[in-house]
Structure 1
């Protein structure tokens, strides 16, 4: 019975992982590395120029393809380091809120105590991520690069903390793939913060 419940939990987790990661992976396959796809969004006549700007900003990040995908899917108008960071923060926050909901659903269905506790811990980490991202938005608006770096670093730590609870128990977080994407996005935010003036 416990094996059946564990199998069901893994099936639900795998479904959630697919839902949260299929779109970004499909996006990544459409894009050549370090290149902006003109098929990505209807951005009007500013599209070629915006693509050049996105490529230029994302080239300085650790994960350019993740950066290009995030920025080209939610442009904020005239692109600058500040608007790029804001777009990145909003994209991370949206993903973290979805991941929090998934972690709470999985925790409610978990049959073993450690998995349930780890998933609840992840839900708390995602709430903390949203809190730190809200502070990060204020830091961008006030151009406080030092505190922005502290808050984005805390976001990265939260994703790692979520994964660590599972690793310590010899398992893998069902949200590890999402955490990795969001961690890369936050890392890109740190790189973009270097250009903030």
Structure 2
């Protein structure tokens, strides 16, 4: 065998045995397929980066994704984030340095966040009952629930401590609505709000 051919065969064998070749296992192909599927759903959302991040962080495994599983993952993430925000609010209400007006506004925020969490739970029940109209209305109603917290502060020319939470939660809910609208008879651009 010529030395050049021998070298080529040796280089090929070495390349196949190299650790980077092992990186392309069926699991890595599954991960690539998962990320491609995530992208195909999240491209339908306005906040696609948030959508991708939410799914990747909250999907328990590389399970097959469809509209229902993506919506369930996104709704679960909204639920977790809303509970975090409510816990933050409850902590703020216990601060003794706040004036009574601010403390009352925070209590109202706790109530509106509780309403949003309740609407999300009701939306899950509507999904189980296959009631898409109720599902859509309940998910959509969460946005004004979150906004009304900030509105109370704005009314008194105060800065809301919940603005960042409100914005993230509104964007997460909007992503849920975008996934719901993917197969809407009105098309992907149809907005319920």
Do the aligned residues in 1 keep the contact of 2:119 with 2:138 (CA within 8 Å)? yes
Alignment match, 2:10: none
Alignment match, 1:140: 127
Where structure 2 has 5 or more consecutive residues not aligned to the other structure, the ranges are: 1-26, 185-193
Cα separation, partners in 2 of 1:170 and 1:129, compared to 1, 3 Å:
same
Alignment match, 2:58: 74
Report how far residue 112 of structure 1 moved.
Answer: 0.9
Q: Which segment is superposed worse, 136-145 or 60-69? A: 136-145
Do the aligned residues in 1 keep the contact of 2:44 with 2:182 (CA within 8 Å)? no
Please state if 1:103 is matched with 2:105. no
Report how far residue 135 of structure 1 moved.
Answer: 1.3
Report how far residue 122 of structure 1 moved.
Answer: 0.9
Question: For residues 55-94 of structure 1, what are the structure 2 equivalents within 5 Å?
Answer: 55-75=39-59, 77-94=63-80
Whole-Å Cα distance in 2 between the matches of residues 57 and 160 of structure 1?
26
Using CA pairs under 8 Å that are at least 6 residues apart, name the structure with larger relative contact order, 1 or 2: 1
Alignment match, 2:38: 54
- Selected match of 2:137 from 116, 140, 150: 150
Alignment match, 2:180: 193
State the TM-score, normalized to the length of structure 2: 0.75
Tell me which structure has the larger Cα radius of gyration: 2
- Selected match of 1:173 from 139, 157, 160: 160
Q: Which runs of 4+ in 1 moved over 6 A?
A: none
Cα separation, partners in 2 of 1:194 and 1:168, compared to 1, 3 Å:
same
Q: Cα RMSD between the aligned structures?
A: 1.8
Do the aligned residues in 2 keep the contact of 1:82 with 1:196 (CA within 8 Å)? no
Cα separation, partners in 2 of 1:93 and 1:44, compared to 1, 3 Å:
farther
Whole-Å Cα distance in 1 between the matches of residues 81 and 179 of structure 2?
19
Q: SS of the counterpart of 2:94?
A: helix
Whole-Å Cα distance in 2 between the matches of residues 166 and 178 of structure 1?
14
Report how far residue 121 of structure 1 moved.
Answer: 0.8
Please state if 1:162 is matched with 2:149. yes
Cα separation, partners in 2 of 1:94 and 1:44, compared to 1, 3 Å:
farther
Where structure 1 has 5 or more consecutive residues not aligned to the other structure, the ranges are: 1-42
